[in-house]
């Protein structure tokens, strides 16, 4: 009860402080305009084209699965863009899968390419329906009917593929936000909670579904690779999660193993960075701009059978975060969103600035580590509500997908923390996901998760947003 009263009082105080924050919003590309017959409201001069919606038959004969989520864009030959797109499907989700309806098409699949075919001893068990699709898109001719040249499944039989990240090798690491496994009542035949690597190719087909076990088994959300070191940073979508990194023995062969570590604050072991009011201790709020020296702690038993990695890491001194979700490398740092972080649990965005490459890759220890900064924490749903997937635009701003409770926006955030609107979902209240620019910067691709569609947004991106 004390916490409830304190939280309500804090909300009243914050409500009185929203006007100065709103005054800091930037004009961006201008006001959003309703688009009759379209899916999103956009600034003047912008256009959204629909491609690869759920249920459409792909070039491989399978159906586009629903629940479009995280996505990476990589360069192809002759100016083509190769998109690898996640599908966040789990058992019980009322959405179409690649084999629907009635399992059609599964007979044409090499059974060895289905990661989890389902436990034949469990009544009603079927293959897991999550995975990735690969799209080949002509960004030079994107608004014409021939923009989408090819799409096909590239990974199948995984669970709840939420986000991921691109690598310097033009591959996409897709993450399972699920730790279900054999013995549960879902009929799973294999354990889940892993990362898988998908190459970018103009002739996509199903990859051998080999989990990268050394990257840990937990509720993976997103990854970001530091191109200077090859270190892979990872978020965990739990209200009491931690931030991980994987230092591979060989950056080109992730399966060969490496070290899994968790982020900690120097001189503040087991620091809670959620900024949540609590009844056991007075809250000293962390303000945007606050910076913390960091160190990294080794994590053992990475193939956790009981989803306990975050507890092990926290007990050893790792910092705690509230639902780490989107993550992206840019501006010489790693940005990541904590969807329920902050005083009002509306979300935070952090930035980790690595140390010099030789020091960053050296291993655990307090000396010479990187720094962590609280980039923004609006605490105002009219500015940002539950930041989720994010990317860095060609001009250096963050592009943030909301996963809020009502209207859903695609937002830009300037390096100084000002926020502007880029798009609004005008067909329903489903979240935006997977925002990413084509390698040439001409097209912004983004998903509306339900009913499952990808949009290619073109317009005067090269002008850059107004700063106000």
SS3 210: coil
Residue 397 structure tokens: 């701003």
pLDDT band at 145 (very low <50, low <70, confident <90, very high): low
254-275, pLDDT tens digit by residue? 999 999 999 999 999 999 999 9
Alpha-carbon gap, residue 149 to 279, rounded angstroms = 57
Residue 92, pLDDT score = 78
CA neighbor of 224 nearest in space, from 263, 179, 270 = 263
Alpha-carbon gap, residue 463 to 46, rounded angstroms = 12
Residue 140 structure tokens: 């030079």
**Could you tell me if 115 and 176 are in contact, meaning their C-beta atoms sit under 8 angstroms apart?**
no
CA neighbor of 298 nearest in space, from 359, 357, 242, 354 = 242
Alpha-carbon gap, residue 39 to 42, rounded angstroms = 10
Res. 409: pLDDT tops 80: yes
**Could you tell me if 105 and 57 are in contact, meaning their C-beta atoms sit under 8 angstroms apart?**
no
pLDDT band at 408 (very low <50, low <70, confident <90, very high): very high
Residue 100, pLDDT score = 73
Give helix then strand counts, H and E, for the chain.
4, 25
User: How many CB atoms neighbour CB 56 within 10 A?
Assistant: 14
**Could you tell me if 221 and 236 are in contact, meaning their C-beta atoms sit under 8 angstroms apart?**
yes
Alpha-carbon gap, residue 410 to 399, rounded angstroms = 7
SS3 401: strand
446-454 average pLDDT score: 97
User: Which of residues 363 and 41 earns the better pLDDT score?
Assistant: 41
Alpha-carbon gap, residue 194 to 197, rounded angstroms = 10
Task: Output the CA angle 115-117-118, nearest 5 degrees.
Answer: 125
Taking CA atoms, 434 is separated from 243, 271, 389, 416, in Å, by 20, 30, 6, 23
End-to-end CA distance of the chain: 44
Q: Tell me the torsion sign for CA atoms 395, 352, 197, 218.
A: negative
Phi, psi of 13 (to 5 degrees): -65, -45
CA neighbor of 237 nearest in space, from 158, 179, 313, 318 = 179
Alpha-carbon gap, residue 87 to 54, rounded angstroms = 10
Residue 391, pLDDT score = 98
Alpha-carbon gap, residue 98 to 89, rounded angstroms = 11
Tell me if the pTM is above 0.95.
Answer: no
Residue 283, pLDDT score = 76
């Amino acid at each position: 009860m004390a916490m409830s009263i304190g939280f309500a009082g804090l909300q009243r105080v914050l409500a009185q402080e929203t006007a100065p924050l709103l005054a800091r919003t930037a004009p961006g590309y201008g006001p959003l305009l309703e688009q009759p017959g379209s899916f999103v409201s956009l600034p003047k001069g912008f256009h959204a084209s629909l491609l690869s919606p759920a249920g459409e038959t792909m070039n491989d004969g399978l159906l586009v699965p629903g629940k479009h989520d995280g996505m990476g864009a990589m360069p192809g030959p002759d100016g083509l863009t190769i998109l690898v797109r996640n599908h966040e499907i789990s058992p019980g989700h009322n959405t179409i899968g690649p084999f629907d309806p009635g399992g059609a098409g599964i007979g044409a699949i090499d059974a060895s390419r289905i990661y989890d075919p389902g436990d034949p001893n469990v009544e009603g068990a079927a293959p897991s329906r999550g995975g990735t699709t690969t799209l080949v898109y002509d960004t030079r001719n994107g608004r014409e009917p021939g923009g989408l040249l090819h799409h096909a499944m590239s990974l199948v039989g995984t669970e709840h593929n939420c986000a991921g990240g691109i690598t310097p090798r033009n591959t996409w690491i897709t993450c399972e936000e699920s730790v279900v496994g054999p013995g549960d009542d879902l009929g799973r035949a294999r354990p889940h909670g892993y990362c898988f690597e998908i190459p970018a190719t103009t002739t996509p087909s199903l990859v051998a579904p080999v989990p990268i076990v050394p990257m840990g088994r937990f509720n993976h959300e997103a990854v970001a690779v530091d191109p200077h070191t090859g270190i892979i940073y990872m978020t965990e979508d739990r209200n009491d999660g931690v931030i991980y990194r994987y230092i591979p023995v060989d950056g080109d062969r992730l399966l060969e193993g490496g070290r899994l570590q968790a982020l900690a604050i120097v001189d503040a072991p087991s620091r809670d960075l959620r900024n949540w009011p609590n009844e056991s201790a007075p809250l000293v709020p962390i303000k945007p701009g606050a910076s913390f020296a960091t160190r990294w702690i080794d994590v053992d038993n990475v193939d956790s059978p009981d989803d306990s990695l975050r507890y092990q890491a926290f007990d050893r001194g790792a910092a705690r975060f509230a639902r780490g979700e989107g993550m992206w490398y840019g501006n010489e740092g790693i940005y990541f969103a904590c969807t329920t972080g902050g005083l009002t649990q509306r979300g935070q965005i952090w930035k980790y600035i690595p140390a010099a490459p030789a020091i960053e890759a050296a291993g655990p220890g307090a000396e010479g580590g990187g720094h962590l900064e609280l980039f923004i924490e609006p605490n105002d749903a009219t500015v940002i509500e539950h930041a989720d997937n994010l990317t860095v635009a060609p001009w250096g701003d963050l592009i943030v997908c909301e996963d809020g409770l009502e209207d859903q926006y695609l937002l830009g955030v300037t390096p100084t923390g000002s926020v502007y609107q880029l798009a609004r979902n005008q067909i329903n209240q489903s979240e935006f996901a997977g925002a990413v620019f084509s390698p040439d910067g001409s097209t912004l691709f983004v998903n509306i998760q339900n009913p499952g569609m990808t949009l290619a947004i073109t317009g005067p991106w090269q002008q850059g947003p107004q700063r106000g």
